[in-house]
Structure 1
């Protein structure tokens, strides 16, 4: 395992020297990967310390709840107009998003660029969100199921709002 890590570190150093990518982003991405590894290790340690074992299998209902909840929470944090203050130190506002109550932002330059990419990208943030919800589900299953159920209900309500808006626009257009 040490050999694999050493080779990967060497490749990263060579990529930085060659300039395969913007060096600040490659270094930032490496730091984000390291932070994610530490984050995952901390959750793993917490689960082990709790004495709770892993379930034999993931229940389909929990998988569905976690999927929809992670989608909704990732979008809310990364694109929501009301969560813009959380992203503002790392992103620049570009305007409203095509989706209702969402904004388009770009990462700021410099050292905070990678954080800006992470907090403004629902796909990037989704990895952290799923990790959090999964680990929380191992430690506090009832509370986490309540939270994932609420986020899933919010996603359902959003879908109904969009469907209602589309329907009323269609009806108004036919009059």
Structure 2
């Protein structure tokens, strides 16, 4: 089976390769396989509880999970304070907004991981999967966490609005 995966990956890499897009197709295939395994593990954990899935998500839970996913993904992928988590996989590129940094994936074997941990959109898929499964297993605790992350996102909006208002009123003088 491993030999088959290697052959298919090599064919894809050759057929898909373009000079203007040096993305590692093999690394992305491995990331997809890892995500499939991650999702399967969560599904097994949820199934082992034996509780039926809800018919549909509650609108309030969707709102909390959406905002919490945004905030947590952004914090992990762009936050200045979370740079040590990304450092093995990324190279510092400079500041990028309030308390955020821009980083590029390192070359080599860790490139795909660098892409994942420095991209809030990429990380959101993993984050929402985690929060959704956690919500099925531990709804009260997960609502507490998503509520806290939503409050953090709200506080961020207020901080940015305050800074913009102060800038406009004082003309940039602190």
Structure 1 and Structure 2 fold alike (TM over 0.5): yes
Partner of 1:73: 72
Partner of 1:168: 166
Kept in 1, the 8 Å contact 2:166–2:172? The answer is: no
Q: What pairs with 1:2-81 in structure 2 (closer than 5 Å)?
A: 12-18=9-15, 20-21=17-18, 25-81=24-80
Kept in 1, the 8 Å contact 2:65–2:132? The answer is: yes
Kept in 2, the 8 Å contact 1:96–1:102? The answer is: yes
Cα deviation, residue 10, structure 1:
7.3
2:146 is matched with which residue: 145, 148, 159?
148
Partner of 1:129: 127
Cα deviation, residue 13, structure 1:
3.9
- Superposed CA RMSD in Å reads 2.2
Partner of 1:104: 102
Give TM-score, length-normalised by structure 1. Answer: 0.90
**Cα–Cα, structure 1 residues 135 and 174, in superposed 2: closer, same or farther, change >3 Å?**
closer
**Cα–Cα, structure 1 residues 168 and 138, in superposed 2: closer, same or farther, change >3 Å?**
same
Task: Return 5+ residue gaps in structure 1 as ranges.
Answer: 1-5
Kept in 2, the 8 Å contact 1:16–1:23? The answer is: no
The separation in 2 between residues aligned to 1:52 and 1:159, in whole angstroms, is 38
Cα deviation, residue 56, structure 1:
1.1
Task: Return 5+ residue gaps in structure 2 as ranges.
Answer: none
User: How many correspondences in the alignment?
Assistant: 168
Cα deviation, residue 52, structure 1:
1.9
Cα deviation, residue 18, structure 1:
3.4
SS in structure 2 at match of 1:110? coil
Cα deviation, residue 9, structure 1:
8.7
Partner of 2:117: 119
Deviations 1:30-65 (A, max 9, x none): 000000000000000000001122111101000000
Kept in 2, the 8 Å contact 1:24–1:111? The answer is: no
Deviations 1:87-113 (A, max 9, x none): 00000001101x200000000000000
